[in-house]
Chain A
Amino acid sequence: ELKVEQNPLFLSMQEGKNYTIYCNYSTTSDRLYWYRQDPGKSLESLFVLLSNGAVKQEGRLMASLDTKARLSTLHITAAVHDLSATYFCAVGRGSTLGRLYFGRGTQLTVWP
């Protein structure tokens, strides 16, 4: 079965700092998704990465995909408190969307 590992699982960082969350997966795939979840809330789509070398940016978040290394990163630039949430990566495989395999999530806390 496809395994998805995220690290770190917990991240506490100061406002203004930069950091990267890593997502490794075990089987070849060229589709990777990042979601954000606020406590007790639903999951919100952040990025869809569909090919090797794909890079997407939205505000202070930038996601990239290296399919050869089976690695995606979510880089946080100059963190602000509003970014505090849990971030999940998910991997798909096959020719249809189908089941997504989720990592355990990275719980990010940004403090002043």
Chain B
Amino acid sequence: DSGVTQTPKHLITATGQRVTLRCSPRSGDLSVYWYQQSLDQGLQFLIQYYNGEERAKGNILERFSAQQFPDLHSELNLSSLELGDSALYFCASSVPHGQGYGYTFGSGTRLTVV
């Protein structure tokens, strides 16, 4: 157990629907990062939050949104889902000034859109 908790582990939903993925970072970590992993795109950075504030944004679609709450857990909301959104979604966390450690990844949420 890495200490980063992601729920649910698996999600199957229909096109057009909306889902919420949840991430609890490791204790003491203030940064949360969301990545999407698919076979054709590899690991794509979506967004970073630091202590409740958005810090960096990657190739995140307008249909996707995220937030980090005061207790530091984060949620990634995916709406108007398309077949192409099927992927493994990872959350990672890091300590402040964590250059010497890198990320700690959660176990991921596998999203299947049918």
Contacts and interface: CB of A to CB of B under 8 A. Distances in A.
A54 to B, nearest CB: 11
A110 interface: no
Interface string B42-62: 110100100000011010000
Given A97-B102, A105-B42, A42 B97 contact: no
Contact of A42 (B42, B90, B102): B90
Contacts of B45: 99-102
Interface in B67-106: 90, 92, 94, 97-106
A101 B55 CA distance: 15
Interface residues of B, number: 27
A40 to B, nearest CB: 8
B103 A102 contact: no
Contacts of B90: 42-43
B99 A88 contact: no
Interface size class of A (residues with CB under 8 A): 20 to 34
Contact of A99 (B56, B99, B105, B110): B56
B4 to A, nearest CB: 8
A45 B31 CA distance: 17
B102 A33 contact: yes
Contact of B42 (A31, A43, A102): A102
A96 B92 CA distance: 15
A48 B43 CA distance: 19
Given A45-B102, A92-B99, A103-B42, 14 more contacts: A33-B102, A35-B102, A42-B90, A42-B106, A42-B107, A43-B92, A45-B104, A48-B101, A48-B102, A97-B97, A97-B98, A97-B103, A98-B48, A102-B43
Closest 6 CB pairs of A and B: A102-B43, A97-B98, A33-B102, A43-B105, A104-B42, A42-B105
9 contacts: A42-B90, A43-B105, A48-B102, A92-B102, A97-B101, A97-B103, A99-B45, A102-B45, A104-B42
